[in-house]
């Protein structure tokens, strides 16, 4: 089987690009420096799997070629979905439809079947769709699918940066492709667009400040100093991706499963804040959003509601102040402190009297200081107790509440 046959088949089944890279062990100098600076935040698995990520032969000893595939998820332009009302939620485009892990994997399974058919099934393969310690983006660049932009994402001249990547490690040896030249030039729109200034320099992202990290990867409290910058984003952020000029050449995705579900774009923050465990499971059972679990999702929604500064949000936040999850209660308290008013003050005082959790009590006390006009005092109180992960209180935010099963 030739490389050309493989690429032709990939395009035939709806993939936008395919390429071949050598499984050459990477020195990983830049990656190692990034990890050494702690810029990965609490993503400890990146450090733990660093050696495997730099050498696919350690992950899959028979590997002779790394086959890389790209699939577009471009649908509605996020720039045209700027919140038109104070309670409109903002969710990253990649999570608008079905889980890309499942959809892209099905495509790669078809590619594997094609390889076996053409080679008599003599070659071994392993599929990775963001599910194994493989540097997909780096191998995609080596395979000539695109180049790594200043925002650290892969860019393709025909499809911009709205691409999912999948990899097949295989014992089949094919002629590798050549990397392409970068075409960012002097453009720095992506760096300027970041709401939290998470880019330390071109190509260097401090994940600890990235809204996608804060609303997805971070399991505990969101650092106080970054909460207001999150705005109404409740799952991920597309700002650096959306402004890239190369996106103007991208064609809409052929995968219907990547297009937005109406409820995801029309449900307001007020409605999301009342989501029960049963509703969360039913609504996100096949969505990337399920990864953050209900407690993480409602944490994010509470922050977004606080950022609206709208009194209409107070009743749902007061209800959230009695949620089973400490993480939700704590961020609801912060949001009430941001909005203020007599009702918020009364509920926070009542909550403080009933609350047993040390972390939540700290959030309530800070919210009360905020409402009572002690903004600077409250900020100082929090900064003194904050750690790199957000707070000094010892709380297990990975423990799950007792969920009930129902339908949405």
Instruction: Please write the tens of the pLDDT for every residue from 377-390.
Output: 445 444 444 443 34
Cβ atoms within 10 Å, residue 102: 12
For the sheet containing 163-170, what is the strand order?
17-21, 65-72, 163-170, 125-128
Distance CA 204, CA 94 (A): 22
Residue numbers in the chain where pLDDT is lower than 50: 375-378, 380-408
Structure tokens at 252: 């809409």
Structure tokens at 368: 């009360």
Distance CA 84, CA 81 (A): 8
Q: Tell me if 252 sits within 8 A of 75, measured CB to CB.
A: yes
Structure tokens at 349: 């005082």
Distance CA 278, CA 287 (A): 15
CA angle 308–388–232, rounded 5-degree value: 15
| pLDDT the model gives residue 389 | 36
Structure tokens at 158: 């025909």
Distance CA 101, CA 71 (A): 11
Distance CA 330, CA 296 (A): 12
| pLDDT the model gives residue 83 | 58
User: CA 209, 215, 219, 223 torsion: positive or negative?
Assistant: positive
Q: Alpha helix locations (H) across 163-292?
A: 189-193, 211-212, 224-227, 239-242, 262-266, 269-272, 277-284
Residue 4 Cα distances to 71, 112, 218, angstroms: 18, 15, 42
Rounded to the nearest 10 degrees, the angle between the axes of helix 358-371 and helix 342-354 is 150
| pLDDT the model gives residue 28 | 73
Instruction: Give the position of tokens 């804060």.
Output: 214
- The candidate with the shortest Cα–Cα distance to 149, out of 209, 203, 210, is 203
Which of 77, 102, 130, 323 is catalytic? The answer is 130
130 is catalytic: yes
Q: What is the dihedral of CA 235, 240, 246, 249, to 10 degrees?
A: 30
- The candidate with the shortest Cα–Cα distance to 215, out of 270, 162, 265, 288, is 288
The architecture (CATH level 2) of 196-230+267-385 comes to Alpha Horseshoe (1.25)
- The candidate with the shortest Cα–Cα distance to 211, out of 191, 250, 238, 244, is 238
Element (H, E) at 338: helix 326-339
pTM: 0.89
Q: pLDDT digits over 144-183, tens only? A: 999 999 999 999 999 999 999 999 999 999 999 999 999 9
Comma-separated ranges of CATH 1.25.10 domains in the chain = 196-230+267-385
| pLDDT the model gives residue 75 | 86
- The candidate with the shortest Cα–Cα distance to 363, out of 383, 340, 337, 333, is 333
Length of the chain counted residue by residue: 408
Alpha carbon 244 to its chain's center = 18
């Amino acid at each position: 089987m030739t490389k050309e046959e493989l690429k032709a088949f990939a395009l035939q089944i709806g993939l936008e690009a395919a390429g071949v890279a050598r499984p050459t062990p990477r020195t990983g100098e830049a990656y190692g420096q990034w990890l050494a600076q702690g810029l990965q935040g609490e993503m400890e698995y990146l450090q733990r799997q660093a050696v495997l990520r730099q050498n696919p032969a350690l992950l899959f000893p028979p590997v002779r070629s790394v086959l890389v595939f790209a699939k577009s998820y471009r649908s509605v332009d996020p720039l045209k979905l700027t919140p038109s009302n104070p309670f409109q939620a903002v969710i990253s485009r990649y999570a608008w439809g079905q889980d890309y892990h499942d959809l892209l994997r099905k495509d790669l399974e078809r590619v594997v079947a094609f390889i076996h058919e053409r080679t008599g099934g003599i070659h071994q393969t392993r599929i990775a769709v963001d599910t194994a310690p493989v540097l997909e983006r780096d191998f995609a660049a080596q395979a000539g699918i695109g180049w790594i932009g200043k925002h650290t994402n892969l860019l393709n001249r025909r499809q911009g940066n709205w691409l999912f990547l999948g990899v097949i490690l295989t014992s089949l040896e094919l002629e590798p492709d050549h990397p392409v030249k970068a075409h960012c030039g002097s453009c720095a729109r992506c760096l300027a667009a970041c709401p939290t200034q998470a880019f330390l320099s071109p190509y260097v992202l401090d994940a600890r400040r990235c809204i996608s990290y804060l609303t997805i990867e971070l399991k505990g409290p969101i650092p106080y100093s970054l909460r207001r910058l999150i705005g109404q984003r409740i799952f991920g952020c597309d700002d650096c991706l959306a402004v890239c000029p190369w996106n103007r050449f991208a064609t809409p995705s052929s995968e219907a499963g990547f297009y937005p579900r109406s409820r995801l774009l029309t449900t307001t923050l007020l409605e999301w804040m009342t989501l029960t465990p049963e509703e969360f499971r039913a609504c996100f059972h096949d969505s990337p959003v399920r990864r953050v679990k209900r407690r993480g999702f409602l944490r994010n929604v509470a922050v977004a509601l606080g950022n609206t500064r709208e009194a209409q949000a107070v009743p749902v936040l007061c209800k959230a102040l009695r949620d089973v999850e400490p993480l939700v209660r704590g961020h609801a308290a912060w949001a009430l402190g941001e909005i203020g008013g007599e009702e918020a003050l009364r509920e926070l005082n009542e909550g403080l009297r009933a609350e047993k959790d040390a972390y939540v009590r700290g959030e309530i006390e800070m919210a009360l200081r905020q409402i009572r006009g002690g903004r600077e005092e409250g900020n100082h109180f929090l900064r003194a107790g904050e750690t790199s992960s957000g707070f000094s209180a010892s709380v297990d935010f990975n423990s799950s509440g007792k969920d009930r099963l129902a339908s949405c």
